[in-house]
């Protein structure tokens, strides 16, 4: 492609809405443009990268025995009502009506649709296992779109669904997809970890996420270097060791604590560690108060709480001061587990039951109570683990120290069981001629998210550094002075020579200053760089790589093809070159 003809609107300044490196660089490099918040156009350079990622995903899905098709993004309400997800999925679902007032959604995912597709077509166990996939645009009305392509309202996703006759078959299909995802993200040169994930609105019994490690990633993971334990912060099991089970119970004592409303205030007032306090949080579940109690030195994991309650996050919110006053008789900051309004639901992390002589809110404004003990002074619904993990916690598998990292969720896999086949009433005949429901799996790769993740792991202060197999073009030829006939002629010759060998080439033949060309070249991140300058008359050019761009060498034109081929060999792409 000749850059003089190319639509590549690069920017010198970073747009104000851009927050992280991938967002900034995709905008500056002229690869995406925002239409409205969370909705983007993919411009020529950016769309070429997306297609490269799609091709790798497609190759590995096909290799794993999955079959590609394409479904509509529009799905009828009835399908989602059958599984209970029309309401459960929440406000992120785009809902619309046709001229006949029939309700539809723009698909955020396709479990129901795929299940309905095979319902009347797959009738026998002999047709199983079956795995189908598509690469398609999805829609989720994010409350706060952010980070560019990482958290957007419209995005490209590969979603696949497996159908098996029993749990063992489902587990086998799950492993096949796990292996395929490993190959995809390895080929994409991503540094990633596979972690246990929360099944959330998808349902099912088991989930894993493929997290591309990134300092600005919105996801947090816990992992252990001594064993293979790894989980998202939503899922990570907390081993909490600050238990004083053997301490003697002391008599309760009410203490006047004017304007002492936070754990920090309490620490200063009582001159005690945070672990001596019981932290109480009050929620409003569609008009019903929910009181939660955890150790004062830890944070509540809301995902674990919502899973225990069996409610989606959009159905629950923090209680206001009026509700708190009604159930406790005290202002916010003085709520405790003793003397709550009759019928109030109290949920307690299991570690609270083993801690002695806690200090808690007194359910009276400006008062707390010392020496409060579970069982003697109050009781509630005990939940094994409601805590958010912290770096340095003990691994629940081997006992070593857990570490923390940030990442971008680029893929996820779920064992769904029979949730969707039961809801849609999708059945087949087994070996004995009896009707059975399908055991299903669901598998997603965020294609546009993956593009952002590649940039997060491959950039510097000058711009993007694409791996060769996902770069929009393999080689960029920069003609320093396009008005110089010898330079332009040599650039054209190299351009045609590389194209003849199936190498994707950009020719910067623009009538721009050299500095502008070099800055754009660094910004868009083409891996292999050829500079045609003053020694064009001697048929000598400068050769360099974007990743090590300070290491420039002067070479004769006839050496260029061998150098380019060498880079293709290193990247495992030699078969893409046509040998003439």
51 within 8 A of 84, measured Cβ to Cβ: no
> What is the CATH topology of the domain spanning 463-576?
Rossmann fold (3.40.50)
CA nearest 507: which of 534, 532, 533? 532
Which two tokens mark 304?
């674990």
Tell me the C-alpha to C-alpha distance, in Å, between residue 554 and each of 536, 538, 551.
11, 11, 10
Give the pLDDT of residue 245.
63
For 29-59, how does the pLDDT look when each residue is reduced to its tens digit (9 = 90+)?
999 999 999 999 999 999 999 999 999 999 9
CB within 8 Å of 354: residues ≥ 6 apart: 243, 244, 245
Give the pLDDT of residue 433.
96
Residue 246, SS3? coil
For 385-443, how does the pLDDT look when each residue is reduced to its tens digit (9 = 90+)?
999 999 989 999 999 999 999 999 999 999 999 999 999 999 999 999 999 999 999 99
Domain with CATH 3.40.50.800 in the chain: 463-576
Which two tokens mark 477?
């030829």
Please name the residue that has the structure tokens 């005990």. 382
Domain with CATH 3.30.930.10 in the chain: 17-237+404-455
Which two tokens mark 287?
């008009």
pTM of the model: 0.93
- Count the residues in the chain: 580
H/E segment holding residue 570: helix 560-570
Domain with CATH 3.90.960.10 in the chain: 253-383
Backbone angles phi, psi at 283, to 5 degrees: -115, 160
Q: What is the dihedral of CA 344, 349, 355, 359, to 10 degrees?
A: -50
141 within 8 A of 93, measured Cβ to Cβ: yes
Which two tokens mark 512?
């721009």
CB within 8 Å of 21: residues ≥ 6 apart: 216, 455, 456, 459
Distance between CA atoms of 122 and 131, rounded to whole angstroms?
12
Distance between CA atoms of 192 and 176, rounded to whole angstroms?
18
Give the pLDDT of residue 203.
67
Spans of the chain below 70 pLDDT: 200-203, 245, 579-580
Looking at the structure, give the CATH architecture of the domain made up of residues 253-383.
Alpha-Beta Complex (3.90)
Strand partners, 284: 289, 317
CA nearest 236: which of 192, 198, 200, 193? 198
CA nearest 463: which of 524, 543, 382, 389? 524
Give the pLDDT of residue 336.
96
Max distance between CA atoms of the chain, in angstroms, equals: 96
536 within 8 A of 547, measured Cβ to Cβ: no
What CATH number labels 17-237+404-455? 3.30.930.10
């Amino acid at each position: 492609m000749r850059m003089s003809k190319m639509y590549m609107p690069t920017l010198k300044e970073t747009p104000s809405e851009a927050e992280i490196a991938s967002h900034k660089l995709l905008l500056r490099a002229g690869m995406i443009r925002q239409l409205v918040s969370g909705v983007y156009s993919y411009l020529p350079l950016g769309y070429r990268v997306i297609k490269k990622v799609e091709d790798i995903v497609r190759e590995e899905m096909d290799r794993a025995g999955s079959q590609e098709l394409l479904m509509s993004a529009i799905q009828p309400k009835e399908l989602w009502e059958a599984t209970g997800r029309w309401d459960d999925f929440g406000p992120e679902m785009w809902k619309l009506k046709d001229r006949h007032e029939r309700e539809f959604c723009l698909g955020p995912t396709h479990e129901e649709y795929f299940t309905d597709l095979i319902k009347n077509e797959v009738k026998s166990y002999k047709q199983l296992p079956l795995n189908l996939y598509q690469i398609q645009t999805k829609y989720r009305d994010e409350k706060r779109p952010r980070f560019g392509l990482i958290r957007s309202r419209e995005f490209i996703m590969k979603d696949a669904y497996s159908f098996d006759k029993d749990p063992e078959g489902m587990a086998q299909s799950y492993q096949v997809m796990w292996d395929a995802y490993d190959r995809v993200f390895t080929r994409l040169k991503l540094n990633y970890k596979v972690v246990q994930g929360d099944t959330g609105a998808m349902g099912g019994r088991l989930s894993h996420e493929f997290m591309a490690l990134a300092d600005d990633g919105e996801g947090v993971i816990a992992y252990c270097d001594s064993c293979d334990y790894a989980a998202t912060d939503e899922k990570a099991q907390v081993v909490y060791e600050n238990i004083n089970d053997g301490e003697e119970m002391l008599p309760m004592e009410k203490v006047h604590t004017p304007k002492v409303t936070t754990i920090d205030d309490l620490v200063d007032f009582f001159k005690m560690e945070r672990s001596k306090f019981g932290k109480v949080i009050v929620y409003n579940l569609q008009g019903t108060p929910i009181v939660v109690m955890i150790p004062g030195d830890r944070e509540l994991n809301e995902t674990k709480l919502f899973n225990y309650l069996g409610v989606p996050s959009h159905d629950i919110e923090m209680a206001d001061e009026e509700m708190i006053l009604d159930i406790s008789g005290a202002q916010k900051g003085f709520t405790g587990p003793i003397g709550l309004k009759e019928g109030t639901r109290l949920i307690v992390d299991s570690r609270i039951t083993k801690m002695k002589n806690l200090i808690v809110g007194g359910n009276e404004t400006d008062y707390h109570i010392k020496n409060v003990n579970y069982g003697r002074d109050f009781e509630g619904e005990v939940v094994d683990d409601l805590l958010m993990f912290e770096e340095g916690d003990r691994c629940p598998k081997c006992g070593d120290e857990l570490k923390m990292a940030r990442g971008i969720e680029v893929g996820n896999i779920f064992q769904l069981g029979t949730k969707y086949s039961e809801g849609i009433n999708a059945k087949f005949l087994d070996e004995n001629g009896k009707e059975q429901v399908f055991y299903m799996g669901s598998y997603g790769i965020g294609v546009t998210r993956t593009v952002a993740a590649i940039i997060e792991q491959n950039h510097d202060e000058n711009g993007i550094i694409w791996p060769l197999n996902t770069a929009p073009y393999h080689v960029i030829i920069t003609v320093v002075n396009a008005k110089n006939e010898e330079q332009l002629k040599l650039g054209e010759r190299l351009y045609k020579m590389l194209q003849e060998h199936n190498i994707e080439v950009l020719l910067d033949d623009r009538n721009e200053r050299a500095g502008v060309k070099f800055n754009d070249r660094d910004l868009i991140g083409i891996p292999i760089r050829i500079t045609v300058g003053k020694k064009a008359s001697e048929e000598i050019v400068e050769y360099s790589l974007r990743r090590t761009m300070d290491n420039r060498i002067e070479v004769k034109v006839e050496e260029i093809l061998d150098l380019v081929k060498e880079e293709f060999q290193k990247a495992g792409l030699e078969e893409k070159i046509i040998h003439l």
